[in-house]
């Protein structure tokens, strides 16, 4: 027996397609940026939870442009999800997310050191969101290896040495 789908107006179909295209562009931009840096898991906030390629609905795109829904509830749920990419502040763009990630990293370094040196601030501003993610991954790895001897400033210096020895020297001098 064939499935029954709800009937959508041409305007509703166009809205679903437009929003899907916008969401796909945003997710693909993050995917390409993170893939360029060897990362396969995307951040949750800007991608709406579609963090790996295995979660994609089609081979080529994260979200399907299908306009077939079995219930009004399913349609509304999909429309609400897609609209979250259209509203400012809910799903940040790559540029907005870069600023958010840089602020988080600056705040973390500030809490460890007390004040972020200007050279370090300039270095952080030059990092992409994927590079900042790699920094956090390495920082977590260094911190977990330290175990009971954990020291946030020691972990920060060791992580920065792996990324940029000059930045590690600047941090050491500022302590």
Are both 167 and 105 inside the same structural domain? yes
Task: For residues 25 and 21, give the distance between their C-alpha atoms in angstroms, rounded to a whole number.
Answer: 6
Compare 147 and 11 and report the one with higher pLDDT. 11
- Of the residues 31, 63, 83, the one at which a domain ends: 83
* pLDDT computed for residue 150 by the predictor: 52
Are both 113 and 170 inside the same structural domain? yes
Residues ≥6 apart with Cβ < 8 Å to 44: 51
| pLDDT beyond 50 at 174 | no
- Of the residues 53, 83, 113, the one at which a domain ends: 83
Compare 95 and 160 and report the one with higher pLDDT. 95
Are both 78 and 130 inside the same structural domain? no
- Of the residues 83, 108, 136, the one at which a domain ends: 83
Residue environment code for 105-137, b if the CB has 16+ CB neighbours within 10 A, otherwise e: beebbeebbeebeeebeebbeebbbbbbbbbee
Domain that holds residue 26: 10-83
Compare 59 and 118 and report the one with higher pLDDT. 59
Residue 175 pLDDT class (50, 70, 90 cuts): very low
| Structural domains of the chain, count | 2
By C-alpha distance, which of 166, 141, 127 is closest to 37?
Answer: 127
Instruction: With respect to residue 118, please indicate whether it lies within any of the assigned structural domains.
Output: yes
pTM for this one? 0.77
Are both 49 and 76 inside the same structural domain? yes
For residues 67 and 8, the answer to whether their CB atoms sit within 8 Å is yes
Instruction: With respect to residue 47, please indicate whether it lies within any of the assigned structural domains.
Output: yes
* pLDDT computed for residue 147 by the predictor: 56
**CB count in 10 Å sphere of residue 48:** 19
Are both 98 and 67 inside the same structural domain? no
For residues 119 and 24, the answer to whether their CB atoms sit within 8 Å is no
The secondary element (H helix, E strand) that includes residue 21 is: helix 10-36
Are both 105 and 124 inside the same structural domain? yes
Residue 152 pLDDT class (50, 70, 90 cuts): low
For 56-91, write each residue's pLDDT tens digit: 999 999 999 998 999 999 999 999 999 999 988 889
**CB count in 10 Å sphere of residue 63:** 22
What percent of the chain has a predicted confidence (pLDDT) above 90?
A: 46
Q: What angle do CA 106, 111, 115 make, to 5 degrees?
A: 70
Per-chain mean pLDDT for the chain: 83
Distance of CA 130 to the CA centre of its chain: 8
């Amino acid at each position: 027996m064939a499935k029954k789908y709800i009937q959508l107006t041409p305007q509703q179909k166009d809205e679903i397609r437009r929003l899907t295209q916008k969401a796909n562009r945003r997710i693909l931009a993050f995917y390409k940026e993170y893939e360029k840096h060897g990362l396969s898991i995307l951040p949750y906030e800007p991608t709406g939870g579609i963090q790996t390629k295995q979660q994609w609905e089609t081979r080529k795109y994260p979200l399907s442009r299908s306009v077939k829904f079995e219930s009004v509830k399913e349609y509304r749920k999909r429309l609400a999800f897609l609209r979250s990419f259209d509203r400012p502040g809910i799903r940040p763009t790559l540029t907005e997310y870069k600023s958010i990630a840089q602020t988080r990293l600056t705040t973390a370094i500030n809490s460890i050191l007390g004040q972020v040196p200007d050279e370090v601030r300039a270095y952080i501003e030059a990092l992409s969101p994927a590079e900042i993610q790699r920094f956090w991954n390495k920082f977590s790895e260094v911190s977990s290896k330290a175990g009971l001897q954990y020291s946030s400033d020691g972990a920060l210096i060791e992580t920065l040495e792996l990324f940029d020895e000059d930045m590690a020297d600047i941090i050491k001098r500022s302590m």
